[in-house]
Amino acid sequence: MSVSTEGFCKKHLTNLAEWKKLGEANIFPPDSRLELINGEIIEMAPIGSHHASHLKRLNKLFSGLIHKSVIIAVQDPLQLSDLSEPGPDFMLLRSSSDFYYEQHPNASDVFLLIEIADNSLKFDQNQKLRLYALHNIPEYWLLNVNDACLEVYRQPHDGLYAEKTTLRSGDKITLSQLNTISINLAEIL
């Protein structure tokens, strides 16, 4: 499907089936960082050392806190619709006996989704925020590297989050979906 933009060029929108075929045909270079968002193939910025360091901290922290019935997913695809398959930085997922071998997790499998933002801050605060709210991701954390804070979004409704809280290094948070897990922000900021 093509969409006219400004009358001079056309943007080609794609769907999940076509997206998967493009991947299987090795159309994209192996080191590409691409996501399908609302039918558009979005090239994500390379991961810098600050971003990678925060991701390692999250992984280490949550690995020691979660129960066996929760799966950690790091930069894995999340199938949200026929037009969107982002690759969030970090997710806590419902247990799956096959570890999502047959298909990628979907929104109902997510307890917590975290994006780490430095170069992608505006995109994560706008497009990703709306996408995750629209698909009822119950808790979205945006680890804002630039401002050294954690933006916590909860209670999705009609493409928006009803609750937003900004936390800093001295604060503590308890997960809404896994309320036995609390963390000190100093451990991840």
Q: Work out whether strand 90-94 and strand 70-74 pair parallel, antiparallel, or are unpaired.
A: antiparallel
For 107-130, what is each residue's pLDDT tens digit?
999 999 999 998 899 999 999 999
pLDDT of residue 130: 97
Helical (H) or strand (E) element with 9: strand 9-12
Structure tokens at 118: 């430095």
Nearest to 131 by CA among 61, 77, 84, 78: 84
pLDDT of residue 8: 55
pLDDT of residue 9: 61
- How many other C-beta atoms lie within 10 A of the C-beta of residue 84? 22
Q: Tell me the C-alpha distance between 74 and 56, whole Å.
A: 10
pLDDT of residue 19: 84
Structure tokens at 41: 């193939």
Nearest to 16 by CA among 33, 34, 37: 37
For 20-62, what is each residue's pLDDT tens digit?
888 888 888 878 888 899 999 888 888 889 999 999 999 999 9
The top-level CATH class assigned to 48-187 is alpha beta
Three-state DSSP state, 163: strand
For 118-164, what is each residue's pLDDT tens digit?
889 999 999 999 999 999 999 999 999 999 999 999 999 999 999 99
pLDDT of residue 45: 84
Q: Are 110 and 138 in contact (CB under 8 A)?
A: yes
pLDDT band at 6 (very low <50, low <70, confident <90, very high): low
pLDDT of residue 10: 62
